[in-house]
């Protein structure tokens, strides 16, 4: 890396590593609430401009005259140490913007797919997406007040969640509960990495 060339004089010498965890799920399932429960900053929104053609992000100028669409992603930040920052990125709610997730998940530690038990079918699309990517993920059931409670096994069966994918209950509004979800994502990522290493083909993320 040409770090030495690009570092301005007087910059702090510490190399800062940043990691990210993806929070996926249907529209209105509580992704931004979850991010806000642990983020040290108010969740921010970043917008990407895309063409209606829908291939590649931020590519509008190559097809003048095409309609452009803006997709928003919410994210939060946890500064863990002077040299380590964790970002939490919520996927765009609309599933037709999946192609954008490919860029978003590249290099991620792992993902949590948030499921609302009142609208369980909203989870099919995100689960399908992660099933076909080399990214460790778990399923987190967001238990809203008054939401129908199902046994985890019932949800696992209804959503056809593979046996190796962890399923945990959470409340996206509660910091400790969200912390538990994130710890689960990282532990699952570690177990996946160890298993891949044992099989002798570590897979690049994304």
Partner 1 sequence: MGQPQQPHDPRGNLVRPYAVTRGRTEPRRDIPIEAVLVASRSAVQEARFAGHDKYRIAVLCEPRAQSLAEIAARSRLPLGVARVLVADMVTDGLLSLHSAAPRQGFTERMDLLERVLSGLRKL
| Residue 54, SS3 per DSSP | coil
Q: Is 45 in the site for partner 1 (CB under 8 A)?
A: yes
Q: Is 190 in the site for partner 1 (CB under 8 A)?
A: yes
Instruction: Compute, in degrees rounded to 10, the torsion defined by CA atoms 77, 81, 84, 88.
Output: -20
- Integer Cα distance of 148 and 146 in angstroms: 6
Cross-strand bridge partners of residue 24: 113
Residue 139 Cβ vs partner 1, minimum distance, rounded to whole Å: 18
Find the binder of partner 1 among 27, 52, 55, 61 (CB under 8 A).
61
Residue 75 Cβ vs partner 1, minimum distance, rounded to whole Å: 6
Find the binder of partner 1 among 125, 133, 144, 187 (CB under 8 A).
187
- Integer Cα distance of 78 and 85 in angstroms: 6
Judged by CB, which is closer to partner 1: 32, or 117? Answer: 32
- State the DSSP H helix or E strand holding residue 127, giving kind and residue range, or none if neither: helix 124-131
Query: In the block, which residue shows the tokens 């930040």?
Result: 77
Number of Cβ within 10 Å of residue 180's Cβ equals: 15
Q: Is 49 in the site for partner 1 (CB under 8 A)?
A: yes
Q: Is 107 in the site for partner 1 (CB under 8 A)?
A: yes
Find the binder of partner 1 among 27, 28, 44, 154 (CB under 8 A).
44
Find the binder of partner 1 among 6, 148, 163, 201 (CB under 8 A).
6
Tokens of 81: 């140490």
Judged by CB, which is closer to partner 1: 78, or 141? Answer: 78
Judged by CB, which is closer to partner 1: 85, or 125? Answer: 85
């Amino acid at each position: 890396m040409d770090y030495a060339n690009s570092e301005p004089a007087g910059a702090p010498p510490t190399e800062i590593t940043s990691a990210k965890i993806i929070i996926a799920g249907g529209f209105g399932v509580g992704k931004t609430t979850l991010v806000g429960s642990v983020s040290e900053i108010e969740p921010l929104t970043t917008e990407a401009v895309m063409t209606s053609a829908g291939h590649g992000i931020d590519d509008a100028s190559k097809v003048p005259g095409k309609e452009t669409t803006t997709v928003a992603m919410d994210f939060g930040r946890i500064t863990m140490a002077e040299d380590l920052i964790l970002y939490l990125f919520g996927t765009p709610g609309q599933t037709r913007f999946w192609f954008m997730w490919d860029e978003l998940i590249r290099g991620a530690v792992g993902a949590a797919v948030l499921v609302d038990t009142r609208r369980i079918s909203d989870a099919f699309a995100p689960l399908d997406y992660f099933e076909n990517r080399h990214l460790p993920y778990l399923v987190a059931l967001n238990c809203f007040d008054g939401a129908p409670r199902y046994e985890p096994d019932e949800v696992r069966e209804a959503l056809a969640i593979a046996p190796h994918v962890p399923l945990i209950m959470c409340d996206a509004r509660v910091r400790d509960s969200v912390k538990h979800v994130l710890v689960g994502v990282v532990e699952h990522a570690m177990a996946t990495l160890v298993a891949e290493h044992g099989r002798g083909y570590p897979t690049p993320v994304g």
